[in-house]
Structure 1
């Protein structure tokens, strides 16, 4: 269990958790692993994965729930269609408030898109030394819209709402509808952040499941084609939208190897 606390960033109170790795002697100071969750996630939804990666790399890990998720401040609806751009700005404040001088940012789904916007939009200020992108989106696909429409039905008619409540409590509706309605807004079909990719000059590891119903391999191909830094891909069989859950060990090993390589070790 990490050290839980609250900070103010982006004008809102956010819950954060820090996992301290065992000190290792020699070499340059290690970057902090900063985790950005998916559209229905939060700090707790990562489970013990951040702690496991911290132990494997010797790097501290910083995890936080974005505005409207988990134990962070409740969101005001509707979320603007630019909410991921807004969160990229908030990430800069989180790193400043938490005194993170060097970071490797690990983003899942929406979190990966936010990481791209942060690193490629001139907001990183030299702090970001690498990106790990799980199930990233850089443009809106028909596949994504169909799956997000289907999960709306599961939320309204199935048990998804109660399953999400264990992470989001009484603000579960704000967490779900803030994300779902934004992605299903007709104007969101024009959402595209490929213009941020040429601004990324740091190493990138992009991970995607072959059975991801929220995005196709075209997302990886766009990232590979447009980033200026080196891009390594990991495409996992028998894996859906959450590689760190569906294929934990291969994902953990790939991330740990990438972090070590980024530190020159």
Structure 2
């Protein structure tokens, strides 16, 4: 695909006493009548780690895109504490709603990876009037042994490789909080009971659920739960040979299928 230059802008906005870093992407064909694509990063992610995916999807659909660093990540304010409750991802769905309200975004299509996918599911369930469709990659709705094994492997990599240095390029000094905020929470005995399936029947909007067949953090049971319990029209895209980050491992296919879904479900033409 060939894409022409588009306008981007970064800014900071205060939400709940935290300064969040935002990036806007404006394709030439964008209009106020189209939904805004809102990108929700994973447990170690940030704006920059989406690379050029937002720009390419915005151009392919003609929709404005919004990418932001959640509190504790990237260029946003640091965590107040790395101690998290079972509802920390639901709280992020509530922060998202307040952010969209503050930005006066009345129509949003959420694109969430991993933790961001779980946030998208809960936001769609809780804020139906604002969320018009969702796309998730590697989202979790419950904890599996495969999830915990993947996180334990990440802990070993953090301790034995240059992973801390790689993360510091994106999170700076916050890296020392970002990593344990994820691993300590998910590996705690209390978190074994985390489950958001009760939100799924409240999802009425169209959904595209993407997962790699070799996802090291979850099985296809995660996808099946959404497909079986969400009440809106749900499409699933299972990618053979792909692990936990489909938009990085199979970018062209993910872009193509995501653009088709957005155009067909919301009329972004």
Please give the TM-score of this superposition, normalised by the length of structure 1: 0.95
Partner of 1:165: 168
The equivalent residue for 1:17 is 23
Contact 1:138 1:193 in 2 (8 A): yes
The reply on whether 1:155 has 2:158 as its aligned counterpart is yes
Corresponding position: 1:110 with 2:142: no
Aligned-pair CA distance for 1:179:
1.0
Give me the whole-angstrom Cα distance separating, in 2, the residues matched to 1:252 and 1:125.
Answer: 25
**2:11 is the counterpart of 1:8:** no
CA distance in 1, matches of 2:265, 2:13: 29
The structural deviation recorded for 1:47 is 0.7
The C-alpha deviation readout for 1:145-165, integer Å capped at 9, x for no partner, is 011011011112211111111
How far apart, in 2, do the equivalents of 1:107 and 1:259 lie? Answer: 14
Q: 1:74 aligns with which of 74, 78, 82?
A: 78
1:7·1:97 contact (CA, 8 Å) conserved in 2? no
Please tell me whether residue 49 in structure 1 is matched to residue 53 in structure 2.
yes
* Superposed counterparts of 1:54-133, under 5 Å: 54-75=58-79, 76-120=81-125, 122=126, 124=127, 126-133=129-136
Secondary structure in 2 aligned to 1:2?
strand
In the alignment, the residues of structure 2 paired with residue 133 and residue 143 of structure 1 have an alpha-carbon distance, to the nearest angstrom, of: 19
Structure 1 residue 214 corresponds to structure 2 residue 206: no
Contact 1:197 1:223 in 2 (8 A): yes
1:34-64: per-residue Cα shift (whole Å, max 9, x none)? 0000001011110111011000000000000
Superposition deviation, residue 182 in structure 1: 0.6
Equivalent in the alignment of 2:35: 31
1:178-229 CA deviation, whole Å, 9 max, x = no partner? 1111111111110000000000000000000111100100000000000000
1:116–1:10 Cα change, 3 Å? farther
2:231 counterpart of 1:228: yes
Paired position in structure 1 for 2:3? none
For structure 2, the 5+ residue unaligned runs are: 1-6
Q: 1:252 is paired with a residue of what secondary structure? A: helix
- Distance (Å, rounded) in 2 between the aligned partners of 1:209 and 1:10: 35
CA RMSD of the aligned region, Å? 1.4
- The separation in 1 between residues aligned to 2:12 and 2:164, in whole angstroms, is 26
Counting matched residue pairs gives 261
The 10-residue stretch of structure 1 (192-201 or 94-103) with the greater mean CA deviation from structure 2: 94-103
